[in-house]
Each structure stands twice: as structure tokens, then as C-alpha cells.
Structure 1
Amino acid sequence: MNPISCCRTALLLAVLMLAPAFAQEPATSASTPTLATQAPTDTGIAELRGRFTRLPSTAENNDDLRILLAQINAIAAQTDAFITSRTASLADLNARLGELGAVPTLPGAEDPSITRQRVALTKQRNALDSDIRLAKLLAIDAQQRSSDLLTQRRKLFEAKLTERAHSPLGRAFWSDIGDAWDDDRDRLSDLGTEFRNGMAVVRQPQNLPTVLVSIGAALLLALLGNWLAEIGLARLAARLLPPGRLRRSLLVIAIVGTNVLLVGVAAQWLLSALDAQGAWGPLTRKVAQALVASSIFIAFVVGLGRALLSISRPSWRLPPIPNALAKRLAPFPWLIALVGAAVWAPAQINAVVDASDAAVLATHVFTALSLTALISTIVMRLGMSGPSAPAAAETPAADAGAPASDAADAAPMPARAVWVGLLLSTVMVVVVVIWVLVAIGYVAMASFLATQLNWGGIVLAAFYVLFKFADDLFAAIVSSKSGVGMRLQRSFGFAPQTLDQAAVVLSGLSRVALFFYMVIALWAPLGTSPGEVFQRSGQFGSGFKIGEFELVPGAIFSGVAVAMGGLIALRVLMRWLSRSYLPSTALEPGMQSSITTLLGYVGGVLVVAFSLSALGIGVNRIAWVASALSVGIGFGLQAIVQNFISGLILLAERPVKVGDWVVLGTSEGDVRRINVRATEIQLGDRSTLIVPNSEFITKIVRNMTLANAEGRVLIRLPMPLSTDAMKVRSLMLAACNTHATVLPEPAPTVTLEGVEGGALIFQAIAFVPSPRLAGGVRSDLMFEILDALRTADLPLSVPTMVVAPGALAPTVIPAETPPLPVQT
């Protein structure tokens, strides 16, 4: 599976994770308007504004708030459709006006028909532009009104949570239920009558076969389809995906997504089939739609739990859970889903039939006690898996398609972590608090805490999968050991450490984004719809200020994306220049290296500027930061700035370039690299000398290869006065001319400098292609000349031993022959 499919699957799971919130949304009352969402998209902006103005700005209860929010959202959707359709028409009018050209300055210079057409098009364009502006203003007003209503709804919800009712341990609580029983039974009887009428319609001979076929097909799709899909996905993952953790996390996402998809399709199919037979009335249709959402919730929880525990494939298990513990936890995904559906059903029925307050309070008590009983059972079962649990180290056997690394990852934990024990203890404390709240009469608060505790566990489990998937995805496609990473190294020349760091950074950014949505999902109450969750995330996504700076999550990700894309493009450009374009030019290698380095600096500055612009940091703020940095530069960064400017001067003027042989003080060597702060010089002993760039600008530097790349070999020999000078000259010239490295032009020369200390001084000068060859050639010529002089019986002059007067020991004084000169 390619990375795009992986990202789509992760997004699908993130969206489906919010399905339980939709499942918990109480059904709206019968007065909920249905025509608001079915209005045509070509409604005029004046009509939309009028409908919006007539809506009240507040509501008295939660049901009225929900109806009002639905109406406002419908108006906002129609406004967005109006803007989209009119924007295309406006672009067409602008294009047609552009084809007519500019308005001529001279009167009468244009054909009257073209003038009339221009006037008509301009009038249409202005009217359309005005409508679009009004529509955008209406969209902003609708969004603001929706946010205000959500705030009001949240306040009503919080006020309702703090209400205290009669304790279930007292007689008044049960007396209220008894007093309201007759009214609630009458409301339930209407729902029951409508349901029986629908079943009577279904049992009619002409409808029964179709309904039975639909039920059978839905069951086959939901049960057999899920079983076959799970087996097929496991085999495909083992066959198509490379070994590693990615295929395990991807398999979990695929299984959960497939379960939710198949169950949702089956439930919706059955709902539509029964609706086509006329089985639903106004009340039963709402219950049936809620049942569809409940089935999606059950499929999500069961699929997520079974995929995480992976009882049949222990080596594919994503979390490090011992096999024995996984088997003990196997029934709980079903229990969580069934208990959640069981506590949700009374709340939905209460909303549909408009039950009494006593029935609502009884539902709260039932919800709190049922969920806390389930949670305490899970905590007790997990508590049995501590270090003292017997045989908790049962090693799962590796499956046929699982790699050895997966089997090693599935190995059991030797002991329970400390944070796990603290978390379980905290959960039990919350459970006890819920029981106390139920006992003293705060049943709404107790029910809310119980549902949020259950909801929090589901959200954490879902985002655990997403966190693991993000880590595994970037480790598989970016790290240096992955196939994609190796291709990036070969194609773009990225270092392995760079790719590994990029994988860690991308994984961290994805975790931050997922953590943001996880906090939003955890903070939202269980009765919150997915639209409100996304709207809350949109409020945070619009940005928040910290002092004078405004942080926008979308802008941060845009800036990071621009920086990554810019650096990759810069690397590709520099690689193309250094390997393809510049070698084809007549520029020498040193100039090519200088051009590449300069372009790298300029490109890096541009990438940083574009990234800051994507972050929303303007030029004025960059100037402010630069002025603040100038203070630090004035105190402690002079040397760094001086070396940086010196490096730019070296790259621009090129008094010293890569490949030159320079002498700086007592050190000499080849220039290997000119960096932004210092220059690297390789010495004769293969060590590297790091020289600040300012040394090349402010001090005397000898560049042996700046104007002339040839090297000179100088040999001075002292000979006795009785030596045959012409013979010595011919021998030395023959040695120089026969050496393969000595250049024929300029030709070697041998001169007689004079007489020093009673000896003739012969000087030979030869030229070689490079100064780096001078030392080796001089040594070869010395060997050849000395051997030729010895063969010709021409001895060198020998120093004379002279005893200085008054000296305690004899001193060697070069009375006749000076020492051999040093090669320059």
C-alpha cells in the first residue's frame, strides 16, 4: 500500500472515531425543521439574509438550541454554495472583460457595440461582486452566531450537570418515578403502537420476502463479510507490505475501517429497505436512524479492541501485551460496545418520546452504575496482570506471515510499568467518586463522568493506533534503512543521519497534530456531534495569540512544509549544478565549488524567508528581530560576523579558492573547502587545519597557484674550484631533461652563480606541472645528479674543519662550502 493510501486510511479512522459521538447525540424532537436543509442552492442572498435575521439569537433549552443550530448551519451551507457558484460566474465575467481590452482614452476610438457590451458586462460584474461580498459577510455572521449558540449550549449543559436531585437511596427518588410512570407509559405506548403498525406492514405477504432478503443480506455483509475481510487483509498485509511495524499498525487501521464500513453499509441498507416498505413512522424512524449510528459505534469499538488484542495472530499484536492478558481481555470489546449501546438506548428513547424528568434521572443513574461496573471490572482484570501474575510471560507463537522482528516485538512485558499502576488507581478513584455522586443526588454529573471515562478510554485506544501508525509510516518511508530512504540517498545525496532526523521530526509533527485532535475529542462531551468537534478544532485552528505573536496551527504546518520542500528543491538544484551543468562549462573546479556554495547560501536564505512568510511573519517583524540581534552582534558576535563576511568575500573575489596551495604563516597545504565561517586546509601530513576566514582577508597569504599553477625545482650544489664546469653543467641538464615530470617549456637551466668559500656554486632550475610535485621531483633529480657526478668522478666540495681560538672543543665552520639551500 502506498503512502497516500496510508494517509487516507488514517484520516478515515480519525473521522470514524468521532462516530460514537454522533451515536450519542439525542434525537431531535418532532418539531425539528426538515425543509431548511433541502432548500435549493440558488436562493437569493437577500432571502438568506432575511431568514437569518428572523432567527432568534438565544434559546431556552437544549432542544431549541439544537434546532436553531441546525437552521443556522443550513443557511451557512446554502451561503457557501451561493459563493461557490457565483465565484465561477464572476471569474467568467472578468475574463470576458479582459478580452475586450482596456478602455480607450480617446472618445470615439472604440466601436459603440463594444462599448455597450463593456458597460453591460461591467454592470453584471459589479452586481455579482456585491452579492458575493454580502454572502461572505453573511457566512461570517452565521459562523459567529453558531459559535455563540454553542457557548450557550455548553453553559446550559454545565448548569444542568450541577443540579442536585433526590438520591436513589431515598424514597423521594422512587416516588417521583412512580408518579411519572403513567405519563411515561402513555408516551412509550405511542412509540410501541407505531412500531407494531410498522411490523404489520412488514409482515404483509408482498413485503415480507423483500424484508427477509434484506435482513439476510445485511447480516451476511456485517458478519461474514467482516470475517472474510479480516482474513483477506491479514494475508494481503503479509504478502504486499514489507516486514516491519508498519504493516501491523496499518492492519489494525484497515480492520477497524473495514468493520465500520461494512456494518454501516449493512445497517443503512436495512434501514432503507424497511423505509421503502413503509415500516417507519415519525418516531420509529428517529429510533432507527439512531440504531444505525449505534451499530457503527459497536463496530468501531469491537473492531478496534479485536485488532489491538489480536488473539488469533499474537505476533501481529501492536501493543506490547502478554498473550495471557490479551486472552483475559478478549470479551471486553464486546462488553464495552454492548453496555454502551444499552445505556445509550434509554437516553434516545427519552429524547424521542419526551420522557419526564424522573425518567431522565433514572436513566442517568442506570448509565453511571452500568459504566462504572464495566470499568471497575476491566481495572480488576488488568490488576491481575501485574508482576506477580503467574505465567504472564507466555510467548506468542509467530504466525506464518509474520517476520521475526514482529514476534520479538510481541514478547510479553516482564513487569508492569509504574505509570500503568498510577493510571489504574486514578481510574478507580474516579469510579468511587461517581458512586458517591450518585448516592448524594448529583446523578447528572455522575452520568457525565462515567460516559466521559468510557469515552476517554475509546479515544485513547484509537489515537494510540494513530500515533503508532504515524511513527511506523515515517520510519518506513523516510528513514535511511527503508527502501524509499535508500532511493533518496542515491537520487538526492541525502546523508543517512539527515533522513533519520527527518523521520523523527515528521513523526513528531504528526504526533503534535494528532494530540491536538485527541485533546479536542477528549474534551468534547459524549453527546457532542462530529460537526461541533470539527468546529471546535476550527476555532483553535484559526489561531491564538501569545503576547504580540499569533500562532496559527495551519500556518505552522505550512511553514514547515515550505521549509522541507524548499530544502529538497535546493538540494536537487545544487546537485544538478555540481554534477551536470557546471562540469559541462569551461569553469575550473574551484570556481564551480564557489558558485555552488554561494548559491547554497542564497537559496538557504530564500527558503528561510519563504518559511517565515508562510508562518505569517512579515518583513517588519523580521526587521525587528534583526535589530534585536544587532545588539548581540555588537557585543559578542563580531568575530562570527567578520568570518561570515570574509567567507562571502573569498567566494566572490576568489583570492583563495578550492584546490589552491597556500602558505599561511608556518603552515602550507591545499584548500579543500571554504565554509561560511572557516576554511579547511589539508596539510602535508594529511591533517586538516581549520583557519577562520578573516585570516585570509586581514593577513598576508601566499597563494602558490593563484596566477601560475607551475612549480619550480631549485638545486644548488657546491663543487671544488678544479671541477670541469661544462661537464657538471651538461650532467645536471641531462638529469633534468630526462625526467618525465619536468616541463620542456620553460626549459631547465643550469647556471654558475659564482665562487663562495672556495667552491663553485652550480644552480639548476626546472619547472613541473604543480608545486605539489616539486618536492618529489627535486628528490629524484638529486639522486640522479649525485649518481652521475660519482660516475664521472666529480666530487662535491667538503666543508673544512677549523678550530676556533680559545674554544674548548673543535667547531665545524663551513670554511669552503655553504650548506645546501632549502627548496623554495
Structure 2
Amino acid sequence: MPLIAFHSPVPPRRSLPGTLLRTAGVWMLLWLMTVAVPGQAQDGQPKLVEAQAELARQVDELEAIRGQAATVADGGQRLDLQRRAAAVAAAARTIADGLAAEQAVLQQRLDELGPVVDGMPEAADVRQQRQRLAADQAKVDSAVKRARLLALDANQSRESLAAAQVQAVSQELAERSASPLSAAFWTAAGAQAGSDAERLLAFIGSIGARPAGGYTARVVAVLGSALLIALLVLWPVRRWLHERGMRHAARNTTGAARLQRSVFAAWLLVTETALPVIALVVLAAALKRSGLVTDAGVPLLDAVRNTLGAAAYVVAAGYALLLVRVPAWRLLRLDTAAATIVRPLPWLFAAVLVTTALVMRVTTGAGLSVATVTAVEALLAVANVGALALGLMIVGRARAAQRSAAGAASESLRSVLVGIGLVFGWVGVVGMFIAALAGYLAFAIRISQWIVWGAAVTATLYLLMALVDDLCRGVLSGKARWGQSARARFGVPDRTLDQLGVVLSAVLRVVLIVFAFGALFVPFGTGFTSFFDLFKMFGEGVQIGGATLSVQAFARAVLVFFVVWALLRGVAHWLANSYLPTTSLEPDARSSVVTIVGYLGLAVAVVWALAALGIGMEKLAILISALSVGIGFGLQAITQNFVSGLILLVERPVRIGDWVRLGDQEGDIRRINVRSTEIQIGDRSTLIVPNSELITKTVQNMTKANPLGRVQLKFSVSLDEDLDAARGLLRETLLAQPGVRETPAPSVFVDAIDNGRVMFNCFAYVSGPREAYGIRSELLLGVIRRFREAGVGLGVPNQQVRVRLEKDDHDDEGQAAPAPR
């Protein structure tokens, strides 16, 4: 019977404060559980006996590392010893931290017993308990000191191993042999050719062997199944995954989304690397399991497997970036012609990598003479220099094809940088060739390997940076599904999501650049550990006063700030949408309360974050008092505006939505911010007024306390007109106008008599000041219309016209000056 899933037609609604409170509450609970009770021992901390046993094991491990470090000569073995020493240091720090908690518990118990009072006898059981706690505390203190000393010794051993590795690499790079141009160089190699050929054949013979029981059915089955799996992985599976991805790309060749493009390239990099590596691992395991490889041949087999896997990665990285067959999904900004020219470059780099690594491994394993090994290194150096020169030529051809396709007028900065890189590349290749001819063969070979490695790291960095950027900007976007959900649930604006995506992308790309920079030093034997030792100061922190500012402390402070801020934002949202609407407060008063709560929440979050950073209230008070002088002088205007803003929110002489007149400007208050107030004036523009202007200067509030609007009209009629009829017409017009209030009733007064005319002054009241101007216009039109119908003439003010004649230079010739216009 099939299962039927029933879905509610109405999705459950989750309010913002509930979600924020739940999320922030969980984080705050976890934080309080870890830092609020430092004196309580945690259940997972090692006990004293277990810690001492583990400490003894780590001491033995460190002694073994030091013993091996004295005789080791291989760079890979040194790196392994460095990792083991780092593990010892980490274990010692863990033991010290765990015992420190036990130490705090013992000290707390001793504090509960109180100090010993001289001259006052102490109970026997209390004295015994005090002695036992003191003895336990002494043992714990000793173990803590030993653990910290062990961590210090392990770090010093790791640093000495790293220094020895750097010194060994430096000596290798500075090692010089005879020049390959000299006849003695090749004569010495020829003299050892016969014996070295025998050693090489013996080494090759020692690699392989017949199975102990012969080619039994089990051996054949193991080899056959491994070969079948490798073939299936390399051809059908790889082809199926490749075609599946290509079909997906072909359906979206036009206008491919950035995120889909970078994810597709990353998918190609993973599949094109993982499948060959799986085939190599299966084949190598089958050869070992069947007994076809001797113990002497296992290191060479492992080297072949690792080297071919690295070469597969180089080829896969180039394939994922170029994508000759799908131009719309290509990450590199190359046209198809340039991409086709560059396509052999990854294979060339892979050939350099494989040839150099395997030839050096064979010469070392076979125990060839120094003269023969030097001759082989000379051939490798020249071959690597030639391969790199060929690679530079390929890049130059691709750049020329790109420039010819785009046109010389559209020369971009990227093309200029590529040109500069080609110049430095040719300088490096020429320098390597000269170094090889001068006898610095190890230098030439090592630098060529480093260039190939750097190209692989750069390609990986480019792909990962594109992936991270597209992922952050694609997911954290108002157009994405997640962004739409965040906007619908939490009210997050699209612009805020876009900004968050850009900032997160920048941070992650900087992290990728730092890791890539550390990866560049791997061929020189330093590895990531030695590189990131440079950032130890940031991890341990900087001591400022009594507070330690470290990355961990800063991250904890940021977490506490956002948790507290989210909690108080939830409270403010609850006030604005749930509690305050049930009160008798007006909307502007509610807005003021929510704004003040927001300011208080921000201040509380900052104080709590500073406390998590290790800066207590007493230190904060000292800091504030020290900054008060600078705030009083340098930030006086900002402080005055901020305080004025708080006064506006508390006293509310003006409110949001009030019509105010400030100087010669008037408009509606739209928003009261921390520093300024936004006023929308008549032309729909926004006037930004500092808050101190609204407190210290005269402001006319046209709509405070819901006042009535008053309309005033002034007319004059001749003394010869019927004044009572004129007064009646004015009163009828005022009463008949819609919007004029009956209470207070309109009034018409005789204001003055001037030059044979009677001045009428009329007053009417409307529901608000905002309606006064429009109703006044309608009243003026109505009065003029009624007076014309009644035949009553309206007067205008007396006008005086003055005409002044001016003379110019033509008056001497009897010509009149032009009349003024």
C-alpha cells in the first residue's frame, strides 16, 4: 500500500521574535554553559592519574621523535616528525587545560575551608581535609607545569625540525656540480655507465616478483577484478559522469548562471581527479595483494601512484578551467581559439611533474653513482627548461589570438598583466637555463617543479575563489530562493543580503589566498605548519593591560554581541508588533519607545561583548573617562545632536508626521534618527536637520495637539456698494464651502476704510492646517464668482507706476533715448 503524504495547504507561520529568541537563547545557553561557571569541572576532563599516564606516553613519544630527528635525512620524514611533534604539543596543552580545571576546583574547596587562624585550634577532620586537598593541589600543580613544559619542548622540537628542513633545502639549492658544458662532466658519467646499468637492471629486477604460490585462481581473480574496476572507472563511469554533466551544461549554454558555471567546473575537477586516483589505488592495492611487487618495490609503486594522481589533478584543473567544448561555461575569460591553444599546457606540466619525480625516485632507489645521477639531473634540468619555454610560447600564442579576436583597441588590464607575467617568465626560464649550465642542477630542477606546483595552486585558487564568490553572491541574494525566504520570514532587505554576500565572499577569498600562499612553500619542505607559525601571535593574542586580545576572544565577543543584539531586537520587534499596539500610546510614541529600546539594546550588546573580550566595567569606565575629553571637544557637535535626538524622542515636542516650520522651510517630519531629523518639504525633497536645531531654535509645529486650521480672506469694496449685501455674500460663501466647520462659525469683519473703500476681513475654520490652503483657494474662487453674479465690484490695492527717463551717449546728437521696458 503506497504511503500518502498529507501537506497542509497553509504553511506554518513563524514570527520573527520567536525565531530570534529561540536561536539566540540556544547560543546564549551554550555560551553560559561553557564560560559562566569556570570553577566547575567538566565531566570529560582527565583525572590526575590518567593525565599522568598520558603525559608519560607523550614524553616517550617526544623522546622517540628527537632520536629519529638526529638521523633522518629525507624531507618527507622530517615533515612527518614535525606533525608528530605538533600532535605531542596539542596533547600536552589538552592535559594542562584539563588539569587547570581540576586545579581550580581544588582551590575553590580550599577557599571554602578558609585561612588558618593563628592561636585558634582547628578540628582534626578539617585539618586532615585541608592537608589532603593541599597535597592533591601540589600534585596537580606539578602535572600542569610538566604538561606545559612538554608542550614547550614539543614546539621547540618542531621548530628545530622545520629549520633543519629549510637548511637542507637551502643547501640542496646552493649545491653546485661541474658544468654540463665541460667534457669532464660527461666523461665521468660515461666511466660509470656500465656499473650503473647493472645497478639499474638489478633494481628493476628487485621490484617485481612471481607470486609465492604461482598465478593461482585467487591471484588472477584479484588482478582481473582490479583491472576491470580500473577500466570501468576510467572509461564507462567517467564517460557517463562526463556526458551527464555536459548534457546539463548544454541545456543552459546561453546565459549560464554564475553559480551553475562555477559548481560545474568544481564538479569536473573533483570527478576528473577522483576517478583516476581510484583506479590507481585499486591497481596498486591489487599488485601488493597478489605479491607481484616486492618490499623493495613498494616505495616506487607508492611514488608512481602518488605522482600520477598529482598529474591527474593538474590535467583536471586545466580541463575544468578551459572547457573548450562548452564556451558559455568557461571560467577563464578566453575565447575558443585561445582556449584551444592553451589546452596542451596542463598535459605539458603533468609530464614535467611525472618525469622529474619518477626519474629522481629511480636514480635514488637504484643507488646509481654520483656522476650518473648528476648527468641525469642535467638532462632533466634542460628538459624542464625546454618544457617551460614551450609553455610560455603557448601562453604567448593564446594571448596574441585573444588580442586579435578582441581588437587592439580593447586592450584590458588582464592582458597587460599576462604580458608582464610572460616577460618575468622568460627571464626566469633564461635564468634557470644559465643556472643549469653553470652546474646548479638541483636549483634548476627544484624551481621548475615549484613553477608547476605554483601553476596548479594558482589554478585551484582561481577556481575556488570563483566558486566561493558565486556561492556567496548566489545564495545570499534577494533573487535566490534562500534570499526570498529570508525576506519573507525575517524582513531582511535585498540590499542587506547582497552586502552580506559580498562581505562574506571577500572574507572567504582572503582566507583562500592565505592558504594558497602557504601551499606555495610546500615544495621547499616548509609545509603549512611553518607558514602558519607566522600567525601564532594572532592566535595567542596581545596583552593590553589586564585583557588579552586574541582571535578566539574576538570571535567570542562577536558571537556574544550578535546573540545579545538578536535577543534585544526580538524584544523590540515584540514591543512594536505585539505589546505596544494593545496600549493607548499613539503610533509616534510607539516608534519612540522602539527606537529607545533599540539604542539601549545596542549599548547593552556592546558592553556585554566588551565583557566577553575581557574588558570589565571598571576598565571600560576608565576608557570612557579618558575619551571624554576627546568626545567633549572633537565630537561635541555629534554628542549634542545625539542627546538632542534622545530629548526629541522622550519629550516629543515634534512627532513623526507633524507639519513644522523651521525658518523659511516647512514640511512633514518623516523620521527622527540618532543625529538628525528628516523633513519632507513641499517639493517632495528631504531636508535633513541636525537634532540640535530642533531643540535650540524656534520651531513652529503646525499640527501639534490636533489644532484646527484657520482660513483668512481679505477683500475691499467701494463705499458706493451695498455693504450689507457684500457682507451677506461673503458669509454665504463661507458657509456653503465644503470643509468649513460650523463650530467655530465663520465670521466677517469690517477691518478698515481706506481711500473710499471698505476692507473686509473674513475668518473660517477647517478640520486641520493641512486643509486650510486648498479650502482657501476654493473660497477665493467662490467669492469672486458670487460678487460678479451680484454685480458687486471688488477692489485691488492702489498701484503707483513710476517712469524714469535715462540719457545715453546719443543724446548729444539729438536722438531720444529708448523707452524703458
Q: Which of 693, 696, 700 is 2:694 aligned to? A: 696
Q: Which of 136, 155, 162 is 2:174 aligned to? A: 162
1:537 paired residue number = 532
Q: Which of 269, 275, 296 is 2:282 aligned to? A: 269
1:56 paired residue number = 66
Equivalent-residue separation in structure 1 for 2:769 and 2:663 (angstroms): 18
Greater alpha carbon shift after TM alignment, 377-386 vs 128-137: 128-137
Equivalent-residue separation in structure 2 for 1:361 and 1:719 (angstroms): 122
1:435 paired residue number = 433
Q: Which of 313, 326, 349 is 1:336 aligned to? A: 349
**Is the contact between residue 371 and residue 450 of structure 1 (CA under 8 Å) also seen in structure 2?**
yes
Alignment CA distance shift 1:567-1:761 (3 Å): same
1:369 aligns with 2:382: yes
The total of aligned residue pairs comes to 739
Equivalent-residue separation in structure 1 for 2:413 and 2:641 (angstroms): 56
Equivalent-residue separation in structure 1 for 2:51 and 2:276 (angstroms): 33
Instruction: Give the SS at the match of 2:398.
Output: coil
2:15 paired residue number = none
Equivalent-residue separation in structure 2 for 1:533 and 1:499 (angstroms): 34
Equivalent-residue separation in structure 2 for 1:367 and 1:179 (angstroms): 20
1:47 aligns with 2:64: no
Alignment CA distance shift 1:554-1:525 (3 Å): farther
Q: Which of 507, 510, 513 is 2:511 aligned to? A: 513
Q: 1:687-718: CA deviations, max 9, x gaps? A: 44332222212222222333444434456778
1:32 paired residue number = none
Alignment CA distance shift 1:573-1:247 (3 Å): farther
Post-superposition shift, 1:150?
A: 0.4
1:208 paired residue number = 220
Equivalent-residue separation in structure 2 for 1:121 and 1:260 (angstroms): 60
Post-superposition shift, 1:652?
A: 3.1
1:444 paired residue number = 442
**Is the contact between residue 89 and residue 155 of structure 2 (CA under 8 Å) also seen in structure 1?**
no
1:253 paired residue number = 266
1:477 paired residue number = 475
Post-superposition shift, 1:488?
A: 4.9
Equivalent-residue separation in structure 1 for 2:464 and 2:426 (angstroms): 27
Post-superposition shift, 1:798?
A: 7.0
1:226 paired residue number = 238
Instruction: Give the SS at the match of 2:296.
Output: helix
Post-superposition shift, 1:319?
A: 1.0
1:380 aligns with 2:393: yes
Q: 1:763-795: CA deviations, max 9, x gaps? A: 7765544222233344555666787889999x7
Q: Which of 418, 421, 432 is 1:420 aligned to? A: 418
Equivalent-residue separation in structure 1 for 2:552 and 2:652 (angstroms): 44
Instruction: Give the SS at the match of 2:523.
Output: coil
1:16 paired residue number = none
- Read off the aligned partner of 1:77 and give its amino acid letter: A
Instruction: Give the SS at the match of 1:680.
Output: strand
2:154 paired residue number = 142
1:4 paired residue number = none
Equivalent-residue separation in structure 2 for 1:340 and 1:122 (angstroms): 63
The within-5 A match list for 1:707-718 is 707-713=705-711
**Is the contact between residue 468 and residue 505 of structure 2 (CA under 8 Å) also seen in structure 1?**
yes
- Read off the aligned partner of 2:519 and give its amino acid letter: A
Equivalent-residue separation in structure 1 for 2:293 and 2:604 (angstroms): 64
Equivalent-residue separation in structure 2 for 1:146 and 1:792 (angstroms): 111
How high is the TM-score relative to the length of structure 1? 0.72
Equivalent-residue separation in structure 2 for 1:314 and 1:322 (angstroms): 7
Q: 1:133-156: CA deviations, max 9, x gaps? A: 754653443233212210221022
Q: Give structure 1 stretches of 5+ with no counterpart.
A: 1-39, 106-111, 396-411, 809-824
1:28 paired residue number = none
Post-superposition shift, 1:735?
A: 6.7
**Is the contact between residue 708 and residue 768 of structure 2 (CA under 8 Å) also seen in structure 1?**
yes
1:152 aligns with 2:149: no
Greater alpha carbon shift after TM alignment, 48-57 vs 162-171: 48-57
Q: 1:652-701: CA deviations, max 9, x gaps? A: 33222211222223333322222333322233444443322222122222
Post-superposition shift, 1:95?
A: 11
- Read off the aligned partner of 2:654 and give its amino acid letter: V
2:643 paired residue number = 645
**Is the contact between residue 86 and residue 128 of structure 1 (CA under 8 Å) also seen in structure 2?**
no
The within-5 A match list for 1:751-770 is 767-770=765-768
Greater alpha carbon shift after TM alignment, 755-764 vs 216-225: 755-764
Instruction: Give the SS at the match of 1:63.
Output: coil
Equivalent-residue separation in structure 2 for 1:593 and 1:716 (angstroms): 42
1:400 paired residue number = none
Equivalent-residue separation in structure 2 for 1:236 and 1:538 (angstroms): 44
1:460 paired residue number = 458
Q: 1:516-568: CA deviations, max 9, x gaps? A: 2222222332656xxx2255235436539999999978888888899999999
Greater alpha carbon shift after TM alignment, 548-557 vs 448-457: 548-557
Q: 1:347-368: CA deviations, max 9, x gaps? A: 2234545655445534532432
- Read off the aligned partner of 1:748 and give its amino acid letter: A
Post-superposition shift, 1:437?
A: 1.0
**Is the contact between residue 711 and residue 765 of structure 2 (CA under 8 Å) also seen in structure 1?**
yes
**Is the contact between residue 719 and residue 761 of structure 1 (CA under 8 Å) also seen in structure 2?**
yes
Equivalent-residue separation in structure 2 for 1:601 and 1:48 (angstroms): 53
Equivalent-residue separation in structure 2 for 1:169 and 1:616 (angstroms): 67
- Read off the aligned partner of 1:536 and give its amino acid letter: F
- Read off the aligned partner of 2:397 and give its amino acid letter: M
2:817 paired residue number = none
**Is the contact between residue 314 and residue 350 of structure 2 (CA under 8 Å) also seen in structure 1?**
yes
Instruction: Give the SS at the match of 2:66.
Output: coil
Q: 1:63-85: CA deviations, max 9, x gaps? A: 27754653563365367568779
2:745 paired residue number = 748
Greater alpha carbon shift after TM alignment, 163-172 vs 348-357: 348-357
CA RMSD of aligned residues (A): 5.6
Equivalent-residue separation in structure 2 for 1:548 and 1:377 (angstroms): 54
Q: Which of 40, 58, 80 is 1:70 aligned to? A: 80
Greater alpha carbon shift after TM alignment, 536-545 vs 164-173: 536-545
Alignment CA distance shift 1:560-1:69 (3 Å): same
Q: 1:75-112: CA deviations, max 9, x gaps? A: 653675687799899999999999x9x9799xxxxxx9
Q: 1:242-285: CA deviations, max 9, x gaps? A: 93122222211111112222233332233333333344443222
1:11 paired residue number = none
Equivalent-residue separation in structure 2 for 1:575 and 1:631 (angstroms): 36
Post-superposition shift, 1:197?
A: 2.4
**Is the contact between residue 226 and residue 258 of structure 1 (CA under 8 Å) also seen in structure 2?**
yes
How high is the TM-score relative to the length of structure 2? 0.73
**Is the contact between residue 435 and residue 446 of structure 1 (CA under 8 Å) also seen in structure 2?**
yes
- Read off the aligned partner of 2:521 and give its amino acid letter: W
Alignment CA distance shift 1:595-1:366 (3 Å): farther
**Is the contact between residue 735 and residue 785 of structure 1 (CA under 8 Å) also seen in structure 2?**
yes
1:327 aligns with 2:325: no
Post-superposition shift, 1:159?
A: 2.2
Equivalent-residue separation in structure 1 for 2:652 and 2:493 (angstroms): 29
- Read off the aligned partner of 2:172 and give its amino acid letter: K
Equivalent-residue separation in structure 1 for 2:242 and 2:799 (angstroms): 105
Post-superposition shift, 1:297?
A: 0.4
1:300 aligns with 2:313: yes
Instruction: Give the SS at the match of 2:307.
Output: helix
Q: Give structure 2 stretches of 5+ with no counterpart.
A: 1-49, 115-123, 804-821
Alignment CA distance shift 1:557-1:607 (3 Å): same
Equivalent-residue separation in structure 2 for 1:164 and 1:262 (angstroms): 41
Greater alpha carbon shift after TM alignment, 60-69 vs 582-591: 60-69
Matched-pair identity in %: 33
Equivalent-residue separation in structure 1 for 2:402 and 2:112 (angstroms): 91
1:283 paired residue number = 296
1:173 paired residue number = 185
